[in-house]
Homo-oligomer: A and B are copies of this chain.
Amino acid sequence: MKAIINHMIIGGSDAGISAALRIKEVAPTHRVTVLLADEYPNYSICGLPYYLSREVKHWQDLAHRKKTDLEAAGIHIRTSHRVTAIDVREKKVYARGRSIGYDKLLIATGASPIRPPISGLNQAGVFTLRWMDEMLSMDAYIQQHSVSSVVIVGGGYIGVELADALTLRGLHTTLVEYAPTILQTLDAELGKLLQQHLTEKGVQIHTQTQVHSIKQRTGTKGLKVLGTADFSQMTGMVIVVAGARPQTTLAEALGLETGSKGALRVNQRMETALPDIYAAGDCAETYHRYLKKYQYLPLGTTAHKQGRIAGENMVGGRAIFQGSLGTQVVKVFDLVGARTGLHDRDAAEQHIPYQTISSEHDDHKAYYPDAQKMTIRVTGNPQTGELLGAQIVGKKGSEVAKRIDIFASALHHRMKISELNDLDLSYSPPLSSPWDPAQMAAQAWLQAQ
């Protein structure tokens, strides 16, 4: 009989550290080792833009927890230990040419930035952004070359956050998006609202434009970015943020299957098909609660949850990942955009009957000062009356983020839109209305049926 169980976690970002913490919470005597490829355990990837903007003064503050905190919790952290192979039969992983044994293994290797087919990606001044070292290189480059302009390729969450951040830093910022509107995770109506706001703040936006090449401009340190629709832009720097691809090389070498967008197949217990091997976070598929399907939805919130579930099960628990709803929120200068569940394109892709009604509401009673309008899109199934999803764009400070959570909670319980009216939500004139905007938006949807 073995006295100590050895847990090995490959990856020290959200999923890996959440698992490690949960293991030590539930089974303090077990041994937990986290192997990191880089030097930055438990960093907030979502926080990277805020150091570039200098809203965060020290990049070290971007850690959810310091290495010493993790060690104090009894977790062994091994930085710069990139795992090169896993031996399932011998229950060993290889890093730095040495083998380390394990009893239970968690693969939490995360994702890497997608490198789209753009010629000239591999040159100075062109960056992708997913990891701390990329951000630090980018930051150093801005300083060393006194960069005054940037082209951001990709108008997703990270793209718009970078546009906000680098404008704040004083760079002339251009954002290029191949789709008709930025932020494709929102319907076009709301994407346009945020797009307009970015434009007002000085960001130059080109939609329906695909960048195909980045060239060194002769005799200067500048770059020239070329794309469809005659796009041509001189710039000091290019950041390509075109999404993320699961890092699954190690797992695939074990014969583990991949599914949606190449992510590792797992079940709701975060188990892979191999005994004692778990996977969680951005390298793995995510169970979608409403659709009851596995998808690729790499999000920090999900990684935390999946890591916690994996950790609990690694010590013999029976935890079940209850699923994601794709809830997301982004701050873009003075506005906030949020979503949960399915928007129009999602519902159409899934062949679910849907109707979306957009309505505008004050965040609190209009008679009280500083009421702010927010636009709420409610998507529902007109055949069943079920809520399918919601999206909100409103001013920062008007509780947009936690209002989307009212919808997320409703979706969690598969509520009908009419049932939103039954929720006993808080009200005081400076903070809401007797029917919260979420409920008034539900009523607008019902009225349209």
Q: Which A residues lie at the B interface, using CB under 8 A?
A: 14, 25, 44, 46-47, 50, 55-56, 61-62, 64, 161, 289, 299-305, 308, 322-331, 336, 338, 340, 365-369, 396-397, 399, 401-406, 408-410, 412-413, 419, 421-432, 434-436, 447
Q: How far is the CA of A326 from the CA of B427 in the complex (A)?
A: 11
Q: How far is the CA of A419 from the CA of B413 in the complex (A)?
A: 12
Supposing A336-B431, A405-B406, A434-B301 touch, asked if A424 and B323 sit within 8 A by C-beta, the answer is yes
Chain B residue nearest in CB terms to A49: B429
A327–B367 contact, CB under 8 A? no
Q: How far is the CA of A434 from the CA of B21 in the complex (A)?
A: 15
Smallest CB–CB gap between A255 and chain B, Å?
31
B401–A426 contact, CB under 8 A? yes
Q: How far is the CA of A366 from the CA of B436 in the complex (A)?
A: 29
Chain B residue nearest in CB terms to A328: B426
Chain B residue nearest in CB terms to A425: B405
Q: How far is the CA of A435 from the CA of B64 in the complex (A)?
A: 11
Chain B residue nearest in CB terms to A326: B424
Q: Which residues of B contact A327 (CB under 8 A)?
A: 424-426
Supposing A308-B421, A434-B301, A447-B25 touch, asked if A329 and B428 sit within 8 A by C-beta, the answer is yes
Q: How far is the CA of A46 from the CA of B62 in the complex (A)?
A: 42
Q: Which residues of B contact A410 (CB under 8 A)?
A: 409
Q: Which residues of B contact A323 (CB under 8 A)?
A: 422, 424
Q: Which residues of B contact A324 (CB under 8 A)?
A: 424
Q: How far is the CA of A408 from the CA of B93 in the complex (A)?
A: 46
Supposing A402-B402, A409-B410, A431-B401 touch, asked if A305 and B47 sit within 8 A by C-beta, the answer is no
Q: Which residues of B contact A25 (CB under 8 A)?
A: 447
Chain B residue nearest in CB terms to A64: B434
Q: How far is the CA of A368 from the CA of B447 in the complex (A)?
A: 41
A408–B429 contact, CB under 8 A? no
Q: Which residues of B contact A336 (CB under 8 A)?
A: 431
Smallest CB–CB gap between A291 and chain B, Å?
13
A304–B435 contact, CB under 8 A? yes
Q: How far is the CA of A419 from the CA of B323 in the complex (A)?
A: 12
Q: How far is the CA of A365 from the CA of B64 in the complex (A)?
A: 8
Can you add 16 more A-B contacts, CB < 8 Å, to A62-B367, A161-B428, A396-B430?
A25-B447, A44-B367, A47-B365, A50-B430, A303-B434, A305-B421, A305-B422, A322-B422, A323-B422, A327-B424, A331-B431, A397-B397, A401-B431, A402-B432, A408-B424, A409-B423
Smallest CB–CB gap between A270 and chain B, Å?
14
Q: Which residues of B contact A366 (CB under 8 A)?
A: 61
B399–A429 contact, CB under 8 A? no
Smallest CB–CB gap between A150 and chain B, Å?
21
- Candidates B50, B301, B423; contact of A427 at CB < 8 Å: B301
A428–B331 contact, CB under 8 A? yes
Q: How far is the CA of A447 from the CA of B409 in the complex (A)?
A: 23
A429–B47 contact, CB under 8 A? yes
Q: Which residues of B contact A406 (CB under 8 A)?
A: 402, 405-406, 409
Smallest CB–CB gap between A204 and chain B, Å?
24
Q: Which residues of B contact A50 (CB under 8 A)?
A: 367-368, 429-430
B426–A408 contact, CB under 8 A? yes
Most chain B beta-carbon contacts within 10 A, residue among A396, A408, A419: A408
Q: Which residues of B contact A396 (CB under 8 A)?
A: 430
Q: How far is the CA of A427 from the CA of B404 in the complex (A)?
A: 11
- Candidates B56, B329, B408, B419; contact of A423 at CB < 8 Å: B408
Smallest CB–CB gap between A389 and chain B, Å?
12
Chain B residue nearest in CB terms to A157: B428
Most chain B beta-carbon contacts within 10 A, residue among A308, A368, A419, A434: A434
Q: How far is the CA of A430 from the CA of B329 in the complex (A)?
A: 10
| Top 3 closest pairs, chain A to chain B, by CB | A402-B402, A322-B422, A409-B409
Q: How far is the CA of A50 from the CA of B161 in the complex (A)?
A: 37
Chain B residue nearest in CB terms to A366: B61
Q: Which residues of B contact A436 (CB under 8 A)?
A: 402, 405
Smallest CB–CB gap between A425 and chain B, Å?
5
